[in-house]
């Protein structure tokens, strides 16, 4: 990762069963809606395989800089997805934001 870039990860468990059609729809809608926001790069939908956590899925994306990350957070497509889908369908989550070690110091 280049210095100054931000990797944002939201790891989560849905209220739906892992194999439910609603889960597939949530993950695909997240991919389509969030990856279309202009500052989002390298968007991935991830499935957890470790027994060490209860979180089952993740969205991972990168931003060129803090301005890109801020633009994503304020973008209407993101805020709408959070209000209409995330707050309704996500049971639990954690957000993690990384920069390359040394880049933020």
pLDDT in tens, 23-51: 999 999 999 999 999 999 999 999 999 99
How many angstroms from the chain centroid is the CA of residue 37? 12
Residue 95 and residue 59: Cα distance in Å, rounded?
Answer: 10
45-94 residue pLDDT tens: 999 999 999 999 999 999 999 999 999 999 999 999 999 999 999 999 99
57-63 sheet: strands from edge to edge: 41-47, 57-63, 6-14, 90-98
In the prediction, which pLDDT does 7 show? 97
Instruction: DSSP for 59-75, please give it.
Output: EEEEESSHHHHHHHHH-
């Amino acid at each position: 990762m280049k210095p100054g870039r931000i990797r944002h990860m939201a790891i989560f468990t849905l209220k739906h069963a892992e194999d439910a059609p609603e889960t597939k729809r949530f993950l695909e809608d997240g991919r389509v809606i969030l990856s279309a926001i202009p500052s989002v790069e390298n968007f991935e939908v991830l499935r957890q395989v470790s027994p060490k956590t209860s979180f089952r899925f993740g969205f991972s994306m990168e931003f060129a800089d803090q301005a890109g990350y801020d633009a994503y957070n304020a973008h209407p497509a993101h805020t709408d997805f959070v209000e209409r889908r995330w707050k309704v369908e996500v049971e639990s989550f954690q957000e993690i934001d990384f920069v390359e070690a040394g880049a933020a110091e």
